[in-house]
Amino acid sequence: MTVQLSHLTLAPPVFLAPLAGITDRPFRDLVLGFGAGLVVSEMVASQEMVQAKPGVRERAELGFGRANTAVQLAGREAHWMAEAARQVADNGAALIDINMGCPAKKVTSSSGAGASGSALMKDLDHALSLIEAVVGAVDIPVTLKTRLGWDDAMRNAPELARRAEAAGVRMITIHGRTRCQFYKGHADWAAIAEVKEAVTVPVIANGDITSTATARAALERSGADGVMVGRGAQGRPWVLAQIAAEVFGCPAPEVPRGGALAGLVAAHYEAMLGFYGRDLGLRVARKHLGWYMDTAGTGPILRRRILTARDPGEVLRALPEALADTAQHGAAA
């Protein structure tokens, strides 16, 4: 099964969600290497990008020219959204995704450059002006990621989806919660079916999809064309390929364990150090190391030693022991 967006074929229809501070280039490359159909950059603020505020472009590393990579833009002014879209398209981006789903207060607040993300669902006319500006500015496909609505009294995702499709959006991803739910409770995959019924473009289900079982359930209840995995990929960059194999019949990935897992984590760690530089890389890598050790069942003493180490060499030397088979961890810790 594939998702076709103009000249782009996205296969398998198992995609990596944008996660701030997580889906950087090293992690996206790793997930793509296992066989994801699409990865999405960390959200970048359109105005800050165009104005080239220090660190914005370097921090996001948007993936210009990289296959199966979408650049996600956020903002609330049509001028800046259009200019940012032109900029990323001119730099070789294959796909632009518009963020209308982020629930973070600093994004949805009306102060400063806020009132973007999922706050745009409170004013669909304004939301459509941004979509039209982006679609009109570029020739590459534009997609939209949003939620069911602002709150239970304003579940307007089907209407937004219909209007977005009419404006030229080629694919819509729906997180099965309202903004006011944040990440609490359970994603309502059945509610995504209303969006699927409202449009003819591909619809992707997102929210609480962490495994083959949850992916199958989300697809069955939503009728969606594919799934997007977010937090479920933390510490398990191969999980998207596992889902693709078991749901869509793609080749099964070799899930790394023991020495193979240590080798994968070491390579990811060194890629982060190279990408961010030694000092920042040490700090950024800790959350990923923690998730890998959660997956492997690393004991607390060894875990603490790795997460507090200030020497990359010490971390690399400890990884084989830390990520050995779970049965060995009692002795290792």
d(CA 49, CA 61): 11
Q: Contact at 8 Å (CB) between 158 and 201?
A: no
CA angle 162, 165, 169 (to 5 degrees): 145
Compute the CA torsion angle 84, 85, 86, 87 (nearest 10 deg).
Answer: 50
Q: Contact at 8 Å (CB) between 15 and 229?
A: yes
* Pairing outcome for strands 14-16 and 95-100: unpaired
242's enclosing H/E stretch is helix 239-248
Q: Contact at 8 Å (CB) between 74 and 46?
A: yes
DSSP of 170-227? -EEEEESS-GGGTT-S---HHHHHHHHHH-SS-EEEESS--SHHHHHHHHHHH--SEE
User: Exactly one of 102, 115, 167, 250 is catalytic; which is it?
Assistant: 102
Which letter does DSSP use for residue 93 in this model?
-
Active-site residue, 250 included: no
* Alpha-carbon distances, residue 10 vs 99, 204, 327 (angstroms): 19, 12, 39
**CB atoms closer than 10 angstroms to residue 175:** 28
* Residues assigned a catalytic role: 102
